[in-house]
Structure formats: structure tokens, C-alpha cells
Amino acid sequence: MTVETLIALAACALVGIGLYALIAHPHPLRKLVGFNVLGSGVFMIFGALARRGAAAGMPADPVPQALLITAIVVAFAATAMTVALLLRLIESTGSSALATEPPSGDGDAL
């Protein structure tokens, strides 16, 4: 088995681990960490595909690698946006609950 296949298989497991945290973890911040783990697994599979595409004297296909750089930056922006939403949720309701029942707190209405 080649190294990139090995890494791609590990990345598949990362996707599973991240997905589980996203669904089952009760705290929203931990869901966000799970989401990032899921994303990094997807990126790693893509990176392994890029490595498989080595040709023309290049050690890996540069097109997927460039898209990965874009993806990492966009994932950071999405994470920052989610953290800001989460902090605002706690500031206005005093709880990080994502329950369907809206808390009847006196948080300032947006």
C-alpha cells in the first residue's frame, strides 16, 4: 500500500470522527471542533488525490493543492463566523443551548 493511500484511509476515519462529534456532542463549540476535524479529513483525502496526480516533474498536482489553500482559508472564515455567533448567543441568552425551545430569558432582542 502506498503512503498516500494510507493517509487517505486515515482521512476517511477522520471524517467519521468529526461527523460523530458534529451530531452527538452536546456543546456547540465542540460541534465546531468536530466540524473542523471533518473538514480536515476531506482536505486530506483531496491532498492524497493531488499526490496521486504527480506528473510532468511535479511531485503532486498543483491544481487541487491550490484549491486546498483556498479551502483552509475559507474554513477559518466560517469558523470565526460561527464562534462570533456562539459568543453572541451566550451573551444574549446566558446559555449555549441549541434546544428547539427558545429560552424565555430577558436577553436583548436583536
Partner 1 sequence: MMTTVVSLVVALLLLALALWTVVARDAFLAIAGFVAYGMLLSLVWVRLYGIDVALTEAAIGGGLTGALLLGAVARLRGTEAAAWSERSGIGLRTAAKLLSLGVTAVLMICVLALPEPAPTLAPLVADNMAATGVGNPITGVLLAFRSLDTMLEAIVLVIAVIGVWSLAPDDCWGGRPGQLHHADPDGVLAYLARLLPPIGIIFGIYLFWAGADHPGGKFQSATILAAMWMLVQMAGLADTPATANRWLRAGVVSGPLVFVAVGLLGLWTAGHFLGYPADWAKPMIIVVEVALLPTLVLVLALLMNGAPARSDRR
Contact call for residue 12 and partner 1 (CB under 8 A): yes
Contact call for residue 40 and partner 1 (CB under 8 A): yes
Contact call for residue 102 and partner 1 (CB under 8 A): no
Query: Closer to partner 1 at the Cβ: 81 or 105?
Result: 81
At its nearest, how many Å lie between partner 1 and the CB of residue 30? 6
Q: Per-residue string for binding with partner 1, 59-98, x by CB under 8 A?
A: xxxxx-xxxxxx-xxxxxxxxxx-xxxxxx-xxx--xxx-
Q: What is the 3-state secondary structure (H, E, C) of the chain?
A: CCHHHHHHHHHHHHHHHHHHHHHHCCCHHHHHHHHHHHHHHHHHHHHHHHHHCCECCECCCHHHHHHHHHHHHHHHHHHHHHHHHHHHHHHHHCCCCCCCCCCCCCCCCC
Contact call for residue 4 and partner 1 (CB under 8 A): yes
Contact call for residue 30 and partner 1 (CB under 8 A): yes
